[in-house]
Amino acid sequence: MQTKSKSINILGIETSCDETAAAVVADGRVVKSSIVASQAGLHEKYGGVVPEIASRAHIEKIYPAIAEAIEQAKIGKDDIDAIAVANQPGLTIALIVGVTAAKTLSFVLGKPLITIDHLHAHMQSALLTEENPTLPAVALIVSGGHTSLYDYHSPLEPKLLGFTIDDAAGEAFDKVASILKLPYPGGPAIEEAAQTGNPKAINFPRSMLGADSLDFSFSGIKTAVLYYCHGQDMKGQSKVDEMNRQQIADIAASFQAAVVDVLVEKTQRAAEKIGAKTIILGGGVAANTWLRAGLQQMCESAVPPKKLLVAPKQYCTDNAVMVASLAYYKFKAGFFVDLTVEPKAHSD
């Protein structure tokens, strides 16, 4: 008689920025629970994440989030096979809260500990429904802190091809939203405002950094929006208060179109360079409909066409499902760490 092998349940923990998240995922794919406690309300009046406030909020929310994730998963603590935590990259004083919680649970429950690179986890969220993408693949990870292109061959060994030399795409969305006096986080606010705007109204710069570059730069476009709203000499007051809804919508749509043009062009270059058959899209900015459509169009018009794999919207922004899902592969490979592991601001 054949016996069904037992599922591997992994508890994932995520505290790298301003989301306190815990999740239980079975066998890398079956989401048994996903708790995300957002701190957006706490950071809104500052127009960006304040590390000290984020860290304190993580301390308050981490254990309730973990307890709820285990309860909703309807498993006992003994059914957890490993504890996984995002330990890099991110705000060190935020990461340390998740890492300390994970180490404590690993020690108390006697379960192995797995550390996860937050950006690799963002990639994994696009692969939740596609276990075996056609390779080679290029992964574009666009978040509030990072904008990176990877050569993806396996869940454990993505190779960095390019990254931003200044602002991340999400950071540019947040800063431009702040210039336009739109709410925080800026990405969804810009996307909403852009819906009624003309993407060709203003020709904002598209920084390509040379014909072969796979790196990104978004500080120039942010400054261009600032100058547009204040005047070139920056001596004038912001004109945003005098602008009507249509003018704001046109700026938002033109900015969004310029950022997406750059992201699509660079992804296409990376795809050509490695002969990619699949494009993987993850990170908070991957929730953007204009970006998804731009990459879809690029994939469809390629000869032969490429397949676009995008993270489901609820797993684009920070969550712990992606951490627990990726940890399954490390679990199978026996990649465990001991209790001396520390958080790191940057990826290895």
Contact 36, 344 (CB under 8 A): no
36: number of Cβ within 10 Å: 20
Stretch that binds ligand KG4, among 3-11, 54-62, 153-161, 277-285 (CB under 6 A): 277-285
237: number of Cβ within 10 Å: 10
| Strand-strand pairing, 82-88 and 278-282 | unpaired
Site string for ligand KG4, 132-151 (x = CB under 6 A): -----------xxx------
Query: Which does residue 294 touch among Zn ion, ligand KG4, none (CB within 5 to 8 A, set by kind)?
Result: none
Among 61, 95, 149, 173, binds ligand KG4 (CB under 6 A): 173
Query: Which does residue 187 touch among Zn ion, ligand KG4, none (CB within 5 to 8 A, set by kind)?
Result: ligand KG4
Q: Is 303 left (phi over 0), alpha (psi -120 to 50) or beta?
A: beta
Q: Which tokens hold the place of 256?
A: 């969004």
141: number of Cβ within 10 Å: 30
Least separation in angstroms between CB 242 and ligand KG4:
26
9 is a contact residue toward Zn ion (CB under 5 A) = no
Say which amino acid occupies 167: D
Report the helix count and the strand count for the chain, using DSSP H and E.
Answer: 10, 10
Among 10, 11, 17, 21, binds ligand KG4 (CB under 6 A): 17
Least separation in angstroms between CB 170 and ligand KG4:
3
14 is a contact residue toward ligand KG4 (CB under 6 A) = no
| Nearer CB in complex with Zn ion: 167/318 | 318
Please state, in angstroms and rounded to a whole number, the distance separating the CA atoms of residues 98 and 343.
9
| Nearer CB in complex with ligand KG4: 174/215 | 174
197 is a contact residue toward ligand KG4 (CB under 6 A) = no
Contact 50, 41 (CB under 8 A): no
118 phi, psi to nearest 5 deg: -55, -35
Residue 305's H or E segment, with its range, is none
Stretch that binds ligand KG4, among 6-14, 216-224, 278-286, 340-348 (CB under 6 A): 278-286
DSSP string, 77-136: GGG--EEEEEEESS-HHHHHHHHHHHHHHHHHHT--EEEEEHHHHHHHHTTSS-SSPPSS
Least separation in angstroms between CB 90 and ligand KG4:
7
284 is a contact residue toward ligand KG4 (CB under 6 A) = yes
164 is a contact residue toward ligand KG4 (CB under 6 A) = no
Please state, in angstroms and rounded to a whole number, the distance separating the CA atoms of residues 225 and 69.
42
Least separation in angstroms between CB 330 and Zn ion:
19
Site string for Zn ion, 313-342 (x = CB under 5 A): -----x------------------------
143 is a contact residue toward Zn ion (CB under 5 A) = yes
| Nearer CB in complex with Zn ion: 255/315 | 315
Among 191, 253, 277, 311, binds ligand KG4 (CB under 6 A): 191
Query: Which residues of this protein are in contact with Zn ion, per CB under 5 A?
Result: 143, 318
Query: Which residues of this protein are in contact with ligand KG4, per CB under 6 A?
Result: 17, 143-145, 170, 173-174, 185-188, 191, 283-285, 287-288, 317-318
